Structure 1
Amino acid sequence: MARRKKLYEGKAKILYEGPEPGTLVQYFKDDATAFNAQKKDVIEGKGVLNNRLSEFFMTGLSRIGVPNHFIKRLNMREQLIRQVEIIPLEVIVRNFAAGSMAKRLGLEEGATLPRPIVEFSYKDDALGDPLVPEEYIIAFGWASQQDLDDIVALALRVNDFMSGVMHGVGIKLVDFKIEIGRVWEGDYMRLIVADEISPDSCRLWDIETGQKLDKDVFRQDLGSLNDAYTEVAKRLGVLPSNVTHATKPTLIN
C-alpha cells in the first residue's frame, strides 16, 4: 500500500496515518533494543515475525471477546489498527518471578507466584519506565479508579488466554506487558488492548527445558533471537513446522 504520513516512531514500530479516520497503519521494524535502548541491533525478519505473532494473539483475543485495536494484517510488516488514546502506563502481568521483580524482592528466577500479579510502570524512556502505585496513577490523572479496575480485569483475561495458548504448545508464560488505549463510540468511552503482543513484550520459557524464547535471548546474549521467535511461531502454527530459520519467513495466511 502507498506510504502515508508518519505520525510516530518508537523503538520497534512506526505508526502511519491510516486510510480512514480513526485508523492507523502499524509497521513492525527489525530493530532490537534492550536496557532502555542502551543495547541495539537490527535482526532481519524480526518485524515480520512480530507482525504475524501479534496478529495471531490479537485475533485470538477478539474471538473470546477481549477488545483490542487490531483490524487486519495488510502485508508482511504492516497491520491496520484502530487509533486510540494510549494511557501512559505499561501494564505488567507476572505469573513467575523473573527480571526486575526477582531482583527487587530477592526471589529465585522462575519461582511460581501465589497468584498473577499486575504492576504498572509509567511510560517514559528518559526515566526508565519506573514502577508506579495506583495512588500515583489516580493522583496524576493518568487513569481513574474505575479505569484501573477495568484495566486489571482486561489484563487478567489476556493472561488467562495467553497462558492457555502457550501451555498448549509447551511454553510457560512467565510474564508480559501490554498497553491500554481509550476509544470513543459517541459519548461512550471504553478501554481496549493496544500496541502489540509478541515475544518482544513477553517472557516465554520452554516448559521442559527452561530455554528462553523471548527478548531475553538478545538481552543476555543467549543465541539467535530469530531462531527463538521462529520456534514460538512454529509451535503456534504461524510458520510451517519444517522451517528451521526465519530470516525471510514464509508465513501462513
Structure 2
Amino acid sequence: MPETLLYEGKAKRVFATDDEAVLLHRYKDDATAYNAQKRGSWKDKGRTNATMSAAMFTYLEANGVPSHFVEQVDETTIKTKKLTMLPVEVVVRNLAAGSLSRLLGFEEGRRLKAPIVELCYKNDALGDPLLNWHHFRELGVSDEDLEFCEELGLRVNGILAPFFDERGVTLVDFKIEVGRDADGQLMLADEISPDTCRFWDKETGERLDKDRFRRDLGGMEEAYAEMLRRVTGRPSAISGQQSAREGDDS
C-alpha cells in the first residue's frame, strides 16, 4: 500500500498504513524554535530522535508506562498506535530553565524543591499557552484526563531522571503528550528526544539538546549524537528495542 501523508509537522511526517489503527512517524532533520519563527536543520537529527524515542518508549513500557509505540521501522521511522490526542502538552521540570526561569525570575539551573508539572494548551496559533484546570475544563478536557496527564508526567519523570543520571546526564525538563486509543485507554505519545527534553551533562553543564539551536550555540549534530550514544551505547544504532534492553541491564 502506498504511503499516504496524513500530517506534516515541524519535525516529522505522519503516514497512514494498511492498518487503520497504526501510523508511521517519520522524523525529519528540520528544526524549529520560538513557535517556528526560527528554522534550521542538521545531519542525522531525524535518526537520533526516532531511535532515541524508540528506546525510551520501550524502556518506559518495560517499567509499566503504556505508550503508543509499536516498533522502529528504520533509522528515521517508528510505527505507533493511532490515538485521539488530548489538546494538552505535559511539561515536567526538575531545574529552572527556559520559560520557567522567566516566569518565576529564577536563575537557570536552580534545582526545584519538587518537580513542577505544567499543562499547556496544544495550539500553535496561540503559542501553546500555559493554562490551569479551569481553562481546560472550558475547552472540554475532563478532570480525570487532566489528573492522568499530571500523574503520567511525574511517573515518566520518576523513571527517566535516574535513567539519565546513570548516564551522566541531568534531565532538566521534558514535554510529552497524551492520547486515547480505540479502546479508550489513555497513554503516552509524541516523542522523547533532544527536541523535547533539556539534557545537561552532569559534570560540565554542557547542553545536549535543542537549546544549542535555540541559542545559536552551535554543535547541534555533535550534541544529538552524544545523547544517542549515551542512551543506546551505539551512535549508529537502529534498534530502539535492543537499546532499551541494554540500558535496562546497566
* TM-score, normalisation: structure 2: 0.93
Aligned pair 1:232/2:231, yes or no? no
Q: Which residue of 2 aligns with 1:23?
A: 22
AA aligned to 1:251 is: A
CA distance in 2, matches of 1:23, 1:236: 26
AA aligned to 1:180 is: V
Q: Which residue of 1 aligns with 2:151?
A: 153
CA distance in 2, matches of 1:203, 1:123: 19
1:184 aligned counterpart, secondary structure: coil
Q: Which residue of 2 aligns with 1:4?
A: 3
Cα deviation, 1:45-85, whole Å, max 9, x if unaligned, reads: 10011000000100001101100000000111111100001
Cα distance change, pair 3–168 in 1 and its aligned pair in 2 (3 A): farther
Q: Which residue of 2 aligns with 1:57?
A: 56
CA distance in 2, matches of 1:111, 1:33: 26
Tell whether the 8 Å contact from 1:53 to 1:238 is kept in structure 2 after alignment. Answer: no
1:1-253 matches, within 5 Å, as 3-141=2-140, 143-185=141-183, 189-240=184-235, 250-253=236-239
Deviates more, 1:230-239 or 1:6-15: 230-239
CA distance in 2, matches of 1:129, 1:178: 13
CA distance in 2, matches of 1:231, 1:129: 29
Tell whether the 8 Å contact from 1:18 to 1:80 is kept in structure 2 after alignment. Answer: no
Cα deviation, 1:210-233, whole Å, max 9, x if unaligned, reads: 100000000111121110011111
AA aligned to 1:181 is: G
Deviation at 1:234, TM superposition (A): 1.0
Tell whether the 8 Å contact from 1:93 to 1:156 is kept in structure 2 after alignment. Answer: yes
Deviation at 1:202, TM superposition (A): 0.3
Tell whether the 8 Å contact from 2:164 to 2:171 is kept in structure 1 after alignment. Answer: yes
Tell whether the 8 Å contact from 2:3 to 2:17 is kept in structure 1 after alignment. Answer: yes
More helix by share: 2
CA distance in 2, matches of 1:124, 1:147: 18
Deviation at 1:237, TM superposition (A): 2.4
CA distance in 2, matches of 1:229, 1:174: 16
Q: Which residue of 2 aligns with 1:243?
A: none
CA distance in 1, matches of 2:146, 2:121: 14
Tell whether the 8 Å contact from 1:238 to 1:252 is kept in structure 2 after alignment. Answer: no
CA distance in 2, matches of 1:125, 1:108: 27
Alpha-carbon RMSD across the aligned residues, in angstroms, is 1.2
Instruction: Mark the runs of 5 or more structure 2 residues left unpaired by the alignment.
Output: 240-250
CA distance in 2, matches of 1:150, 1:36: 26
Q: What is the count of residue pairs matched by the alignment?
A: 239
Deviation at 1:25, TM superposition (A): 0.5
Deviation at 1:19, TM superposition (A): 2.8
AA aligned to 1:167 is: D
2:10 aligned counterpart, secondary structure: coil
Deviation at 1:113, TM superposition (A): 0.7
Instruction: Mark the runs of 5 or more structure 1 residues left unpaired by the alignment.
Output: 241-249
Whose relative contact order is higher, 1 or 2, with alpha carbons under 8 Å and at least 6 apart?
2
Deviation at 1:252, TM superposition (A): 4.9
CA distance in 1, matches of 2:169, 2:23: 32
2:145 aligned counterpart, secondary structure: helix
Q: Which residue of 2 aligns with 1:246?
A: none
Runs of 4+ in structure 1 over 6 Å off: none
Deviates more, 1:151-160 or 1:51-60: 151-160
CA distance in 2, matches of 1:121, 1:151: 11
